[in-house]
Amino acid sequence: MICDEKVADWIGATVGSNNVAELCAVIEAETYIKLHIPHDAKVTIHCDSDYAVKNTRKRIKAQRNRELVRVAIQAYESIARTHDIAIAWLKGHAGHNGDEKS
């Protein structure tokens, strides 16, 4: 995660925290989908951060990390125009193969 707005790859993080890292991971997944997954594909982002899922889907209003949340929402809505996308919460450290690897 890049917290320095002067760095070219900065996407809005201003502080290093677990919530910021989870939002950055969602944005990275969204970027990958946009660049590499064919249009009209059905895609689900699985995330063990309730905070990241709820903010990305606008189920809660961001109190912090507003710029990063805005980027996550904007990317999600952009992808939703070309892909059948969902973001789903899964319980962390519960034996989910991909989650345990990350």
Q: Which string of DSSP letters, residue by residue, matches 3-31? A: --TTSTT--S--S--HHHHHHHHHHHHHH
Which CATH number is 41's domain given? Answer: 3.30.420.10
Domain count, the chain: 1
**86: CB partners within 8 A, 6+ apart:** 43, 44, 45
Mean of pLDDT values over 23-41 = 93
Q: For the segment 50-83, what is each residue's pLDDT rounded down to a tens digit?
A: 999 999 999 888 888 888 899 999 999 999 999 9
Instruction: Tell me, yes or no, whether 1 lies in a domain.
Output: no
Whether 3 is covered by a domain: the verdict is no
Q: pTM, whole model, 2 decimals?
A: 0.81
Distance CA 15, CA 38 (A): 34
Please indicate, yes or no, if residue 85 is contained in any of the structural domains.
Answer: yes
Q: Which domain holds residue 50?
A: 18-101
In a domain, 4, yes or no: no
C-alpha dihedral, 90 to 92 to 96 to 97, nearest 10°: 120
pLDDT tier for residue 24 given thresholds of 50, 70 and 90: confident
